[in-house]
Amino acid sequence: MTAAIISGKQVSEEIRVEIAREVQELAGRGVQPGLAVVLVGEDPASQVYVRNKEKSCIELGFHSEVHRLDAATSQEELLALVDELNRRDNIDGILVQLPLPKHIEEKAVIDAIAVEKDVDGFHPVNVGNLVIGDDSLLPCTPAGCIELIKRTGTDISGKHAVVIGRSNIVGKPVSLLLQRENATVTMCHSRTQNMAELCRQADILVVAIGRANMIDASFVKPGAIVIDVGMNRLETGKLAGDVDYESAKEVAGHITPVPGGVGPMTITMLMQNTLTAAKRRHGLE
């Protein structure tokens, strides 16, 4: 059996059509969602991510601002900008591109973003709301994973989901979102024993490790949904996931490719969060 490919690119395009339609409707009410992205320094990967976010904003009719700050910017200067954006009426979402230079404490910056404008979903109040099941802005990559699983037509409820990785930005929130959808969730990490055996019990396998091609067919239950979050740059310059796609696709029922799987969903969910934040702020949800 060869797995059906879950195209994040295609799903992303479908969601963007829905977002663009809603943006048009909001324009009729005099509201334009606005996203401010702050980039400190000149990390090449961050520059690419920021450009893509700016491009998406323009394509979807959002107000877009990119604040490119010198690498030597002090924490106080950055916090002052965040404070100004928190109070600005034409800004619904604020994203400070990570990683920040070493002299700036990331936590202090994330904590300073207004909860209702935290479109990355990293603020402790949004994380806490996710844990207790209250309304919150969801972290983008995990929300994208759930959307991809749902668009296979699979009912997540009652399924056994195994998540490999327990980072704050991917593994932990993905497992919380899967629980919210009534999956039975097992979390694996670097100290897990018998990981292949656990993974082979998974109806849904989400992999977020950061090691190229580590998870091959021997980890996959026949017919399972495999979501590969990994983005690893090989020496050849090519991008590879954490899943050995060629072998896993022979066993899985559905699988995401890298590139073109989870990656495109992350920015689309950021746009979705900014739209949600705009609607909430204007009482239009």
Which positions are annotated as active-site residues?
Answer: 53, 97, 120
Q: Roughly what angle, to the nearest 10 degrees, separates helices 140-150 and 171-180?
A: 40
- Binding status of residue 52 toward ligand NAP by CB under 6 A: no
Q: Which is nearer to ligand NAP, 180 or 211 (CB)?
A: 211
Instruction: Select the span of 71-79, 186-194, 215-223, 269-277 touching ligand NAP (CB under 6 A).
Output: 186-194
Q: Roughly what angle, to the nearest 10 degrees, separates helices 262-281 and 44-60?
A: 50
Count of CB atoms situated within 10 Å of the CB of 274:
31
x/- map, 11-50, ligand NAP, by CB under 6 A: ----------------------------------------
Give yes or no for a contact between 116 and 277, defined as CB atoms under 8 angstroms apart. Answer: yes
x/- map, 212-251, ligand NAP, by CB under 6 A: -----------------xxxx-------------------
Q: Which is nearer to ligand NAP, 61 or 259 (CB)?
A: 259
Provide the terminal-to-terminal Cα distance of the chain, rounded to the nearest Å. Answer: 44
Give yes or no for a contact between 167 and 189, defined as CB atoms under 8 angstroms apart. Answer: no
Q: Which is nearer to ligand NAP, 32 or 232 (CB)?
A: 232
Residue ranges in contact with ligand NAP by CB under 6 A: 141, 164-167, 169-171, 188-192, 208-211, 229-232, 262-263, 266
